Homo-oligomer: A and B are copies of this chain.
């Protein structure tokens, strides 16, 4: 029995037929859970169901989320599939490496951005690792084709595990993203109050880099609580000094 398959998250998908094609692609590789973040044309979508032919069950079970944060709240490790490299201190791997390192014990998501524009930096920042599909100079895989490649590699690794695919001892400890979300809300409030970011124009990038740094540790819920305790402690000292 292959390990629990990763969740596919489509962020702001545009065309219903592309969502249907993704569902059909998923069914080829044993992927069953589809999440949609703010699909442009609403939900349910007639075209999606028509195009999914044979994978109707995936479309019917798809869950819709108002924003990306909600869609990844229970996810422990998220991979973002991006066509072009981003200037972010994130690990970048091939679909093959990603598939081989996915642990059966973790709640994993494979995240795909909207047609043409791709994911926003804000969303990529939430993801632990980036997947780039190796292509010739000009990559123009569509949404479902990207899901085919990543799903195909997952299926190969799941059916014929090599080194990974067994849980490492600490896997179960990786916090769901909701814990990080709460931490970041907490931290940002404190930093804003102290005018840490100074110029608003610089905040976006500074804050992004900080979150990248903190996410990289793949902390446990306990560790996040510890960190928040430190933040709270520092914050209260600061208030007292005022």
- Give the interface centre of A30, A136, A140, A159 by most chain B CB atoms within 10 Å: A136
Question: What residues of chain B lie closer than 8 Å to A142, measured between beta carbons?
Answer: 24
CB of A54 closer than 8 Å to a CB of B:
yes
Q: How many residues of chain A are within 8 Å of chain B by beta carbon?
A: 28
Question: Is A219 part of the contact surface with B, judged by Cβ < 8 Å?
Answer: no
Return chain B residues, CB-CB under 8 Å to A94. 156
8 A Cβ contacts from A65-84 to B: none
Known A28-B141, A54-B140; contact A134-B156, beta-carbon cutoff 8 A: yes
In the bound complex, CA of A222 to CA of B138 (Å)? 42
**Contact call A96/B141, Cβ cutoff below 8 A:** no
Number of copies: 2
Bound: A235/B96 CA distance, A: 55
Q: Is the CB of B140 within 8 A of A96?
A: no
Is A189 at the interface (CB under 8 A from chain B)? no
Q: State the CA gap A157–B148 with chains docked (Å).
A: 18
Contacting pair A139 B28 (CB below 8 A): yes
- A144 to chain B minimum Cβ distance, whole angstroms, is 7
Contact with B along A108-143 (1 / 0, CB 8 A): 000000000000000000000000011110111110
A152 close to B (CB within 8 Å): yes
Bound-state CA distance A25–B139 (Å) is 9
- Whole-angstrom distance from the CB of A2 to the nearest CB of chain B? 9
Cβ of A174 under 8 Å from chain B = no
Closest 9 CB pairs of A and B: A30-B136, A28-B135, A145-B148, A54-B140, A149-B152, A148-B148, A28-B139, A28-B141, A24-B140
- Seen from chain A, the residues whose Cβ lies within 8 Å of a Cβ on chain B are 24-25, 27-30, 53-55, 94, 96, 133-136, 138-142, 144-145, 148-149, 152, 155-156, 159
